[in-house]
Amino acid sequence: MKRYLVIFFALFSMTNLASAREIDLIQFLTQKQFESLSEDLGAALSYRSITPAEHLGLTGFDLGAAITYTELENFEEWQNAVSSSSDLDYVIAPKLYLHKGLPFGIDVGGFLGSSSNSDVDLFGVEVKYALLKGGVAKPAIGLRAAYTQLDGIDQLEMDTASLDISISKGFVMLTPYAGAGVVWVNATPEKEASILDEEDPQLSKFFAGLNVNLALLNLAFEADKTGDSTSYSVKVGFRF
């Protein structure tokens, strides 16, 4: 088991060595192309908790490292926005997560991350409330509000806000979960790209995942559809 953890963190480190594409030609996009780029970037870098709906409890916490792979829908717009001649049809985002259980059915969490193949850094925070804590015969239901802030792109200021509801039910060490919500993206052009207008797309979100708790090691796998973009995430860490 330790071997798999070492392999994962090796791969995690290698993603940060990938050649990053600088998003620095936004001023050459049309307004429609900028809208499509905003939808893709917002979908790729919006908040993903990668946790089941169940409440962590007052003494509980979840600590882990994750990688999210997002397939980009608007390939041509991305190619026009980056100065690199290499293809950019996906985004890989490694992140470090921490979640903590609080009283009254509340969990708080957040992450620090980046995109290993573009010039984007980001952070996110969340608050989740247990509408139903769940039990032996009942599922858990959680309502989550989250926010992400992007950095590293001189020509663009972007943040996302999201609201989702999820359900999960544990079976021994396995906890499948699923949910749906909405993501609000705010993309504001800066500097020479200010010839473009601000875009505020609203994206639907559907996701499903599986948490596997192996006592000393926690694994989580999640797939989601945000707007037109599909993402896959894996997280390795500890959950108690």
Nearest to 201 by CA among 231, 158, 232: 158
Range 9-22 average pLDDT: 49
pLDDT (mean) for 122-138: 93
76-128 pLDDT, tens digit per residue, is 787 788 776 556 678 899 999 999 999 999 999 999 998 765 667 899 999 99
CA dihedral 41, 100, 95, 71 (to 10 degrees): -40
CA distances from 16 to 12, 31, 65 (A): 7, 31, 13
Q: Which of 191 and 156 is assigned the larger pLDDT? A: 156
Say what the pLDDT of residue 101 is.
Answer: 97
Terminal Cα distance for the chain, rounded: 18
The answer to whether the predicted template modeling score (pTM) of the entire model surpasses 0.85 is: yes
- Supply the pLDDT for residue 116: 63
Burial category of 100 from C-beta neighbours within 10 Å (exposed 0-12, middle 13-18, buried 19 and up)? middle
Is the per-residue pLDDT at 218 higher than 90?
Answer: yes
Segment 28-56 shows an average pLDDT of: 94
User: If you average pLDDT over residues 129-141, what whole number do you get?
Assistant: 92
Q: Residue 168 forms beta bridges with which residues? A: 140, 177
Query: Looking at residues 191-201, what average pLDDT do you find?
Result: 86
139 vs 194: which has the higher pLDDT: 139
pLDDT at 4 over 50: no
Between CA 66 and CA 207 the distance in angstroms is: 16
Residue with tokens 């039910």: 169
* CA distances for 164 relative to 29, 202, 205, angstroms: 32, 13, 8
Q: What are the angstrom distances between the C-alpha of 166 and each of 28, 80, 116, 128, 179? A: 40, 37, 29, 10, 4
DSSP class of residue 72 equals: -
Residue pair 168/139 in contact (Cβ under 8 Å)? The answer is: yes
Euclidean distance between CA atoms 211 and 215, whole angstroms:
12
Of 4 and 214, the structure prediction assigns the larger pLDDT to 214
- Find the mean pLDDT for residues 166-175: 95
* Predicted pLDDT at 91: 86
Check residue 84 and give its pLDDT: 64
CA 168 from chain centre, in angstroms, equals 19
- Report the C-alpha gap between 62 and 54 in whole angstroms: 12
CB 60 within 8 A of CB 23: no
Please tell me the CATH code under which domain 2-239 is placed.
2.40.160.20
